[in-house]
Chains A and B, each alone.
Chain A
Amino acid sequence: MTLSVWALPSADMTTEQEKNELTQTPLLKIWVPWLGMGGCKLSRRRGSSVPQLTNSPTLIVMVGLPARGKTYISKKLSRYLNWIGVPTKVFNLGQYRREAVQSYKNFEFFRPDNEEAMQIRRACATNALEDVVIYFSKEHGQVAVFDATNTTRERRISIVSFSKEKGYKVFFVESICDDPNIIAQNITEVKVSSPDYVNCDKDEAQADFLKRIECYKQTYVPLDDEKDRHLSYIKIFNVGSRYLVNRVQDHIQSRIVYYLMNIHVTPRSIFLSRHGESELNLLGRIGGDSGLSPRGHKYATALGGFIKGQHIKDLKVWTSHMKRTIQTAEHLGIPYEQWKALNEIDAGVCEELTYEDIQENHPEEFALRDQDKYRYRYPKGESYEDLVHRLEPVIMELERQENVLVVCHQAVMRCLLAYLLDKTADELPYLKCPLHTVLKLTPVAYGCRVEHICLNIEAVNTHRERPGNVDITRNPEEALKTIPDHF
């Protein structure tokens, strides 16, 4: 939902004079027309820094045999789109089926000649699509991912007509893989532990699942170069060695294609850490560009030791352009790259102030921030929402890379972590990212395993919880209640 300000037609009551009058919204710091008594009529908004570039909702339809990574792609794509501010939801048909057929017996359910099962599966698909309609029309959804095999042309045709009728755009994502090793690996990683196989041993589950795949193979018709030339789709071959892209219609589909072409499944780990404790941290001041405190230097040395101990192959190290992250990286003894995009959130007029200063000089701003910490933009500064847009190229490159250590800042680390751990915009600004702690994130199954490694060097706490009272009318004590200690 974007900030799209619609100018009034000339027949309206506003005079020429009033048309030039603007007011700046207090939270987002966006200039909007002053509509007098009527107030500000803002249409749906998405990221406040980037315009809305899609109008119709988009239905992404997965295509492929079981164990081809459809659910993996669906979840990952959905996580990415939500993070960049496009409300997205996955509708996994297997889930609907499990709700309909309480206990799974065996692969026979999926036999193409099993009429009773076919009926159930069809009903599930209908229910899922009905939920898609609700998501788009009533829940402000923008993208829905229909995660099912959709392996027959007949099924796909019915989805296309359904979408046409409703005015949704359709984009197919087909995953084709004939490498038996990859398929076996997938089955082990995510199928064997599925609710379907809770009472089976590994080998039984594996065998049954392979028979399940066979059931689909008989009727599988991949997207065809000729027959499907009018559809919009991407075909992914063998986990990304090759792609076929047909008829990308708009911005969001272009972004989706770009994202899908940058992700990989090679095992690796991402290490996130803040710079060592800084001089300004010690004083309880936000922002600025100070150097490390003595304890901060100690941490950096310890970080170097930790990294060495991990014996990581080919580790890339990224820092921001700010002194404190670079000083930290200098202790590691390995080459690092500086990214301006990793700079801490710009606190504008509040740079280098303590929270007490902010309460004293900008009490209203301080309250607004507590009301909506994600969207709140500092005067002449940034919001978390702005940060996310700034960090998008970093995320894209993180996806391309393998082992990476990112040495950054509190707000930045919260944004990156929210992406990797699928946190909402409301949770994001309150994620705990203490100084002197490394987070090791390793992709596993459909998510990310997190290890917190505290390197045991003391540091101030810089985490301020949301206070009880966020009203502009609150008194200073209430505002300052949750401020962490400092010198």
Chain B
Amino acid sequence: MHFVNVGMEARPSNAATPRELTQNPLKKIWMPLPCKNGLPDERICQRMVCMTNCPTLIVTVGLPARGKTYISKKLTRYLNWIGVPTKEFNVGQYRRECLKIYKSFEFFRPDNEEGLKIRQQCASTALNDVRQYLADGGQVAVFDATNTTRERRETITAFAEQNGFKVFFVESVCEDPEVIAENIVQVKLASPDYTNCNTEDAMEDFKKRIKCYENSYETLDEVLDRHLSYIKIMDVGRRYLVNQVQDHIQSRIVYYLMNIHITPRSIYLCRHGESDLNVKGCIGGDSGLSPRGKEFAKYLQQFIQSQEISDLKVWTSQMKRTIQTAEAVSVPYEQWKALNEIDAGVCEEMMYEEIQQHYPLEFAMRDQDKYRYRYPKGESYEDLVQRLEPVIMELERQEHVLVICHQAVMRCLLAYFLDKTAEELPYLKCPLHTVLKLTPVAYGCKVESIYLNVDAVNTHRERPENVEVSRMAEEALLTVPAHQ
């Protein structure tokens, strides 16, 4: 994923003098003047991914319990993480709000006139909300419903055309009864629809619900639908049919969908052991482990052994402290440059007190917008996310992985797995000597935090109250954690 800032709107071709450039103080982006009120043109700062100008409507297709909501939520999480404002619109949710109480599968019978009317209304309401969202700065909307008839899909395509949205269909086709049963167990039984049902009754009812859709199901057809853009996912990813990918974002979506899997596994995230620079309260650098850090590494090895994971992959950055940690774990590991800690540029190896002293303006700007702030000659969290995207893609492909990394990096990875916003991301708590075990379950991720009982400094600095450039040094340093 590349970080794109659109330079300017088209100017008359005989414009001889180029505009002067100024460097935006937060993101360190060079932009042309004139700016409104001396502030950078907002439009320029906004777009992250190489986007077409049209918003995109992703439309799921498939019988119930085929993973449409799973895919919708995961895809939405990924797109938001890489900086593409995305939202899902689950028609089932709209139906629950409209209907209040779900009685039985009879609601979904194709001859249930009243039911059909309500469902159609819900779909319309949802589409209206889609229109609103995409007009208000949203870039991608995921319309999560069965959309199993050609007629329904034609309605949606027409709606999109009217509004200038591109459409991309994601169909999930699966006939494996075991997979379907497992899906029902994992996410349907716990649905609000079945709060007052026992497991067997719920399962029975849901199977009958699926039957209601089966007769009218028209799968995307190679010939009839050859002008549509879509991906057909068959048997949970064994096979894909991809048709008429129109642009960059659709290409990225296809790549992502083709890399995810649902094989159970766990991802372990931790930081390197406490480092010498950590102890001094300095950021960045490439120091080795402190004695306590080495202690942690030993405990990490024991912990990993106790987990009895077959075929665990271990990844580190290319910085000394993560590699030293991995060495003690005594398993083969791979080094990724992309996992290196955020580059603090001119602030590398400084303590917060020194940053306040030498760069008080920078220090304040960082507190104002920690996600987008770029260190002079360094990086921002936003840059980090872009850098980490291939790591995330490979994490999706893999099964059991232990990632030994750094504070800012771990925050970015965690934000991806736990669907945290850009505002929350830079303040996620990732203390030293603590392993986070993430296990995908239902539509999300279970997190277990395992503290390995070796003391370490705290490196987490909360956002202080006063983030104004005019603040006093004490106010800036109020939240700096203790160090030697």
Contacts and interface: CB of A to CB of B under 8 A. Distances in A.
A19 B329 CA distance: 10
Given A241-B244, A330-B21, A51 B8 contact: no
Contacts, number: 186
Interface string B23-39: 10000111010000000
Contacts of B242: 242-245, 261
A50 interface: yes
A337 B324 contact: no
A257 B1 CA distance: 17
A254 B327 contact: no
B127 interface: no
A31 B29 contact: no
Contacts of A6: 332
A333 B15 contact: yes
Report, nearest first, the 10 A-B pairs whose CB atoms are least far apart. Answer: A51-B334, A49-B337, A330-B18, A336-B7, A338-B5, A243-B242, A245-B240, A340-B3, A31-B323, A7-B330
Interface in A315-345: 317, 319, 321-323, 326-327, 329-331, 333-341
Interface string B210-251: 000000000000100010000000000011111111011001
A61 B243 CA distance: 23
Given A5-B333, A261-B251, A334 B10 contact: yes
Nearest to B29: A321
Interface string A368-403: 000000000000100000100100011001001000
A417 interface: no
Interface in B301-359: 315, 318-320, 323-324, 326-338, 348
A4 B334 contact: yes
Interface string A30-50: 111100000000000000111
Contact of A339 (B3, B330, B397): B3
Interface string B257-280: 011000000000000000000000
Interface in B1-20: 1-13, 15-16, 18-19
Given A22-B320, A333-B13, A341 B3 contact: yes
Contacts of B11: 333-334
Contact of B332 (A7, A29, A322): A7
A247 B12 CA distance: 52
Question: Which bucket holds chain A's interface residue count?
Answer: 35 or more
A254 B244 CA distance: 19
A19 B19 CA distance: 57
Given A22-B327, A243-B241, A400-B251, A326 B7 contact: yes
Contact of A50 (B6, B329, B336): B336
A341 B2 contact: yes
A244 B240 contact: yes
28 contacts: A5-B333, A5-B335, A7-B330, A19-B328, A20-B289, A20-B324, A24-B320, A31-B319, A48-B337, A49-B338, A50-B338, A51-B334, A242-B226, A243-B240, A258-B251, A258-B255, A301-B16, A308-B13, A321-B29, A323-B23, A329-B7, A330-B19, A337-B5, A338-B29, A338-B30, A341-B3, A351-B377, A397-B248
A16 B291 CA distance: 13
B15 A7 contact: no
A413 to B, nearest CB: 17
A17 to B, nearest CB: 9
Contacts of A323: 21, 23, 30
A247 B328 contact: no
Contacts of A330: 7, 18-19, 21, 32
Interface of B: 1-13, 15-16, 18-19, 21, 23, 28-30, 32, 50, 222, 226, 238-245, 247-248, 251, 254-255, 258-259, 288-289, 294, 297-298, 315, 318-320, 323-324, 326-338, 348, 377, 383, 386, 390, 394, 397
Nearest to B254: A261
A19 B10 contact: no
Contacts of B1: 393
Interface string A222-258: 0000000100000000000111111110110010011
Given A261-B245, A323-B23, 7 more contacts: A5-B323, A7-B326, A49-B338, A321-B5, A327-B21, A340-B383, A397-B2
A389 B389 CA distance: 13
A30 B318 contact: yes
Contacts of A319: 7
Nearest to B44: A338
A229 B16 CA distance: 61
A126 interface: no
A389 B297 CA distance: 30
Given A19-B327, A20-B324, A251 B397 contact: yes
A45 B247 CA distance: 35
Nearest to B255: A258
Contacts of B50: 337, 397
Nearest to A337: B4
B324 A22 contact: yes
A60 interface: no
A82 interface: no
Contacts of B251: 258, 261-262, 400
Contacts of A310: none
B243 to A, nearest CB: 5
A52 interface: yes
Given A333-B12, A338-B5, A338-B7, A326 B327 contact: no
A326 B7 CA distance: 8
B244 to A, nearest CB: 6
Contacts of B226: 241-242
A18 to B, nearest CB: 10
B295 to A, nearest CB: 11
A338 B46 CA distance: 12
Contact of B30 (A322, A339, A380): A322
Most chain A CB within 10 A, of B13, B242, B394, is at B242
A357 B333 CA distance: 38
A353 to B, nearest CB: 15
A242 B241 contact: yes
Nearest to A49: B337
Nearest to A341: B2
B251 to A, nearest CB: 6
Contacts of A243: 240-243
B55 to A, nearest CB: 18
Given A20-B289, A262-B251, A254 B397 contact: yes
Interface string A181-200: 00000000000000000000
Interface in A256-273: 257-258, 261-262
A245 B234 CA distance: 10
A248 B258 contact: yes
Contact of B315 (A9, A51, A247): A51
